[in-house]
């Protein structure tokens, strides 16, 4: 029984942690260029790099004016644009971010988060807008008429601004872009309302002369800072439609209709979101390797329409997203397990997350917080772990008798099973007692794993010395190696019923786990290392204090004499 349990646990760990890593190592996953490499740039004969010309744009091919619309008609197409001179970049600075909006199409060209840096070594602010891509930028207006889309995207907008910077003395500012095409008798106005202490932007779009629908674009990769290949959570798009959050694979395209409440592009730590008051559909399109665009379809009237939306562009801070009361906090997937999301894991993760932050309010060091939280969780499971350890110890004691019965009744499986059941009953041993407590602890372990891997709180959070960012791997592999040593010690002192050959094979597990954890965030390694040290301490105390003065096994004769 124990052999099968161990094999099951080892295989589970291999599948959970090693699947995607193995695919990369053996070259079974496609190698994709970076977002920057995907920009339409070239090198001339003299070796000079030429920047991509602003002559293409991805436009949603909405239906021709005067015809019925459907979500299937939201297919993008490329329309050539001509470079326009005298472009002006209007800057907006709040307490949280710095942004730039171009009068060329009235689109966002920059969105820097002032409170977040790219890394501990690169102190420049995180940039949510991808530069150099040939696709339409955030807040671009696309129509079903390619010529009209070209006009709206390529034209120069007039601009009005009633602020210089936003702070507590001037908390709200308005930026208005206007454009009119006299030849087509079409006009459009975008009014953006910024707030000094919020990542939300209120948007009002007024149209005239446009019939059917427009597609307000969220842009390409707006909000996706790192297209990592992490195994937890979803990188790409997410949409809240008909009250349910739907997350799409980055390699898929989607057109959804229904009650659209928001549309987002996201990575592990950041996201951008369009929140329309009334939208008929959304389009999510793969533009290339690691390039994803999205937009919302908004119905308009030729006589003129006024559309209201909101834009959120910022970090996945749980409290910030929850305060919006839009369900955006669900983009932080606390419930992930085995390539899916589980309600029980999520229900356990949220209270642990609150406790983690509560402890950190006093320690001001997430490394110390992880150690204290691990100790608290370990203390809660002491009774279960003692029961598990005692059951394994009992199985070790009666193992000679089990082996003798297996040899004696090797040709009679029914008799063997009956004798084993009698042996376990006489000695009051539960053969699965060592496994059941571990199964009960699994949801807590997975929940804590998700918290330490997913939450932005640990991003660039220092611990001690060389550990300057708990969300990144240990640069010198010190903690993973120590963790591997503790696993060897733990194996040596843990009771087992395996034969010497099986025990030697199981010594490969610490080496495998060490190799795996080298690439894990330091915060996760610290948790596992702390848990191993506490388990070793508990087993030593149990052996030398509790079992030293108390027999671990009820003898069959003693149990029968009490009858």
**214: phi then psi, degrees, rounded to nearest 5:** -125, 160
Cα separation, 120 vs 129, in Å, equals 21
Cα separation, 149 vs 140, in Å, equals 9
| Matching residue, tokens 């674009």 | 217
Cα separation, 444 vs 450, in Å, equals 10
User: CB count, 10 Å around CB of 283?
Assistant: 27
Cα separation, 401 vs 35, in Å, equals 64
| Matching residue, tokens 């671009």 | 140
Beta strands in 81-122 (DSSP E): 89-93, 97-102, 107-117
Name the region of 132 (left: φ>0; alpha: ψ -120 to 50; beta: rest): left
**93: phi then psi, degrees, rounded to nearest 5:** -130, 125
**pLDDT score at 216:** 94
Cα separation, 431 vs 428, in Å, equals 10
What domains are defined for the chain? 59-327 (2.70.98.90), 341-561 (no CATH)
Output the six-digit token pair for 244.
Answer: 């349910």
Contacts of 469 (CB under 8 A, 6+ apart): 119, 120, 459, 460, 461, 462, 522
Contact 530, 375 (CB under 8 A): yes
Name the region of 185 (left: φ>0; alpha: ψ -120 to 50; beta: rest): left
The model's pTM is 0.78
295 strand-pairing partners = 217, 283
263 strand-pairing partners = 239, 274
* Order of strands, sheet of 291-300, starting from the edge strand that comes earlier in the sequence: 141-142, 212-220, 291-300, 281-288, 254-257
Cα separation, 275 vs 269, in Å, equals 19
Contact 155, 178 (CB under 8 A): no
Residue pLDDT tens, the chain, 563 long: 445 545 555 555 555 555 455 545 444 443 433 334 434 433 343 333 333 333 333 333 343 433 434 434 444 444 333 444 588 999 999 999 999 999 999 999 999 999 999 988 888 999 999 876 577 889 999 988 888 888 888 889 999 999 888 988 899 999 999 999 888 899 999 999 999 999 999 999 999 999 889 999 998 999 999 876 555 566 889 999 988 888 877 766 778 888 999 999 999 899 999 999 988 899 998 888 888 899 999 999 988 999 999 999 999 999 999 999 999 998 988 887 766 677 788 889 999 999 999 999 999 999 999 999 999 999 988 888 777 777 777 777 787 888 888 888 888 888 888 888 888 887 777 776 667 667 777 888 888 888 888 889 999 999 999 999 999 899 999 999 999 999 999 888 877 666 667 767 777 888 888 888 898 889 999 999 999 999 899 888 887 777 666 666 655 544 443 43
Contacts of 77 (CB under 8 A, 6+ apart): 58, 59, 61, 146
* 303: exposed, middle or buried (Cβ count in 10 Å: 0-12, 13-18, 19+): exposed
Cα separation, 225 vs 204, in Å, equals 27
Output the six-digit token pair for 236.
Answer: 């790409």
**pLDDT score at 218:** 92
């Amino acid at each position: 029984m124990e052999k099968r349990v161990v094999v099951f646990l080892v295989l589970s760990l291999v599948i959970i942690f090693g699947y995607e890593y193995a695919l990369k190592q053996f070259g079974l996953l496609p190698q994709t260029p970076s977002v920057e490499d995907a920009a339409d740039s070239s090198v001339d004969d003299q070796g000079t790099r030429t920047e991509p010309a602003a002559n293409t744009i991805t436009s949603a091919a909405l239906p021709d004016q005067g015809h019925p619309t459907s979500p299937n008609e939201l297919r993008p197409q490329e329309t050539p644009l001509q470079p326009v001179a005298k472009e002006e970049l209007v800057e907006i600075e709040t307490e949280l971010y710095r942004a730039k909006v171009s009068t060329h199409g009235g689109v966002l060209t920059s969105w820097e988060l002032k409170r977040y840096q790219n890394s501990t070594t690169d102190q420049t602010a995180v940039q949510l807008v991808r530069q150099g891509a040939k696709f339409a930028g955030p807040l671009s207006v696309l129509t079903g008429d390619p010529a009209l889309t070209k006009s709206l995207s390529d034209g120069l907008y007039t601009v009005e601004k009633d602020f210089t910077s936003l702070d507590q003395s001037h908390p709200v500012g308005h930026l208005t872009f206007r454009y009119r095409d006299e030849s087509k008798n079409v006009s459009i106005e975008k009014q953006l309302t910024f707030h000094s202490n919020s990542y939300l932007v209120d948007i009002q779009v007024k149209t005239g002369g446009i019939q059917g629908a427009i597609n307000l674009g969220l842009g390409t990769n707006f909000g996706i800072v790192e297209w990592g290949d992490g195994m937890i959570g979803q990188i790409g798009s997410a949409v809240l439609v008909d009250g349910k959050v739907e997350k799409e694979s980055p390699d898929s395209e989607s057109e959804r209709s229904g009650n659209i409440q928001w549309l987002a592009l996201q990575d592990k730590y950041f996201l951008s979101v369009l929140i329309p008051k009334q939208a008929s559909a959304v389009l999510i399109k793969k533009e290339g390797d690691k390039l994803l665009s999205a937009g919302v379809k908004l119905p308009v009237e030729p006589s003129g329409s006024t559309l209201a939306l909101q834009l959120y562009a910022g970090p996945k801070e749980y409290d910030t997203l929850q305060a919006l009361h839009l369900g955006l906090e669900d983009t932080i997937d606390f419930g992930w397990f085995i390539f899916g999301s589980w309600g029980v894991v999520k229900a356990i993760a949220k209270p642990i997350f609150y406790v983690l932050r509560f402890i950190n309010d006093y320690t001001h060091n997430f490394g110390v917080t992880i150690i204290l939280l691990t100790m608290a969780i370990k203390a809660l499971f002491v009774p279960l772990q003692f029961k598990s350890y005692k059951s394994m110890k009992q199985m070790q004691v009666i193992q000679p008798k089990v082996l003798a019965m297996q040899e004696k009744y090797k040709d009679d499986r029914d008799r063997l099973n009956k004798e084993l059941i009698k042996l376990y009953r006489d000695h009051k041993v539960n053969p699965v007692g060592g496994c059941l407590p571990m199964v009960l602890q699994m949801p807590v372990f997975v929940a804590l794993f998700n918290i330490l891997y997913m939450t932005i709180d640990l991003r660039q959070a220092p611990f001690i010395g060389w550990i300057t960012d708990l969300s990144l791997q240990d640069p010198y592999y010190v903690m993973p190696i120590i963790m591997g040593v503790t696993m060897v010690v733990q194996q040596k002192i843990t009771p087992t019923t395996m034969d010497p050959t099986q025990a030697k094979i199981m010594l490969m597990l610490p080496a495998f786990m060490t190799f795996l954890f080298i690439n894990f965030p330091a915060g996760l390694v610290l948790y596992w290392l702390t848990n191993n040290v506490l388990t070793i301490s508990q087993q030593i105390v149990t052996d030398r204090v509790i079992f030293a003065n108390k027999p671990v096994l009820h003898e069959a004769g003693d149990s029968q004499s009490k009858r």
